Structure 1
Amino acid sequence: MTLITGIVKPVSEIKLEPGSTVTIPNISWQEFEKLLEELGEKRSSRIAYSHNTLQIMVSLPEHEITRDLISDIVKTLLKVKVTRYEPFGSTTFKREGMAGIEPDASFYIQNCQRMIGRRRLQPDDPPPDLAIETDVTSKTTIEAYKAIECPEVWVYNKSKLTIYLLEEGEYVTAENSPIFPEVAIAQIITTVVERAWQVGTYQALAEFEAAIA
């Protein structure tokens, strides 16, 4: 369910059902910053802001399960490659005056060393090397990722993983991820996620880890 509305009450008082999205147009950057402060950090909703449009989304339980599973797959593959990473979850990434976005999950890989020990993002910090969305991603969401210049975004929707790579300021879809060029990551994730719905997350991950050992 998607609702487009003007602000008539404090955003923190808006109650959204799981799976709902509220879209609020004509929001300035200053208003966006105030709304973020009002919403606080301890909340179940996520936000996307671009072109003066704010979206507030509340995920369904199935999206939370899928998010965690895909994150575990990424971590497992990075460990196999002996590649260091820093997971930043649903951190709010912003580009001053333009956009803000909270992924379902995010990772610093190429920029891992720089982000070790970082408790709060600094204005000159880079965007995450990988952002993951496990829900229907709107134009506002994609535009926000483009504005913060996130180099790679994965969108898992309807049992399919789509890989978006930023090239010359625009996203293009790709068959493979530069982070995992040696594996068919889209096929792996789809297979493991679907397997998890059949046998449970623990068993699906155990089978996956055994297969790549």
Structure 2
Amino acid sequence: MTTQLNLETNSTGEQIIVFPGCYNWQQFKTIQSIINEQSTAKISYLDGQIDLMTTGEEYERIKTILGFLIELYLCEKDIDYLPVGSATREAEIKGASFQPHESYYLDKTRENPDLAIEVIFTSGGINKLEKYKRFEVTEVWFWQNNQLSIYYLHHGEYEQVNNSVLLPELDIDLLIKCVNLPSRPQAKKMFMEGIE
């Protein structure tokens, strides 16, 4: 059997390789173990499809500043949280395995994080909301094209919302503006002035 791979590369050097939906869980786990030993690429699985993604400096910059500002906000507002970064979420019974780019528990009694963040530079690949839905992640934020899209899980389906339901007082426009600033100290200063 011949498998047609799809390769997408963006202007910042990130690549995503899509293996079409023909792999069972055991095959995925074998590929995952090889990838984890040989590479830092992120690997995701959904219903037989495997995605491999490499990241570059711009991805890391956005992911890091977003996480930094969110944690500043949570600390400043005395909101207890547990950051779990890109810890792998996977279950054969759910037919999914993935690593959020950043993730947080706001309610530590939950089985999976409340908030997850994805930084997207390439468009192809796995249906990103579907994998989060299977793990009942309450809110998913997508950073793409210097903007933030927020999805809230309501009655088992994601709805796009203008503001965070989990963090209703967070000024999303301010967060976006600060993430897009070239200077981290400047971003921190503007953000702190805006949330006081």
Aligned twin of 2:28: 32
Aligned twin of 1:19: 14
Cα root mean square deviation, aligned: 2.2
Aligned twin of 1:155: 142
Cα pair 1:49 1:140 within 8 Å, conserved = no
User: What secondary structure does 1:82 align onto?
Assistant: coil
Return the offset for 1:41.
6.8
- Listed one character per residue, the Cα deviations across residues 13-69 of structure 1 (whole Å, up to 9, x for unaligned) are xxxx94100011211111112222222278432122112101111123111101111
Q: Does 1:172 align with 2:167?
A: no
Count, aligned residues: 184
CA distance in 1, matches of 2:100, 2:142: 10
Cα pair 1:132 1:154 within 8 Å, conserved = yes
Aligned twin of 1:133: 118
Q: Which portions of structure 1, spanning 4 or more consecutive aligned residues, are displaced by more than 6 angstroms? A: none
Q: Does 1:189 align with 2:175?
A: yes
Unaligned 5+ runs, structure 2: 7-11
- Listed one character per residue, the Cα deviations across residues 66-89 of structure 1 (whole Å, up to 9, x for unaligned) are 111110111011111211111111
CA distance in 2, matches of 1:158, 1:90: 21
Aligned twin of 1:51: 47
Unaligned 5+ runs, structure 1: 7-16, 115-124
What is the aligned-residue identity percentage?
Answer: 28
Q: Which moved more, 1:203-212 or 1:29-38?
A: 203-212
Residues 188 and 43 from structure 1, CA distance in 2 versus in 1: closer, same or farther, beyond 3 angstroms?
A: farther
TM-score calculated relative to the size of structure 2:
0.84
Query: After the TM superposition, which residues 101-140 of structure 1 pair with which residues of structure 2 at under 5 Å, given as runs?
Result: 101-111=98-108, 114=109, 126-136=111-121, 138-140=125-127
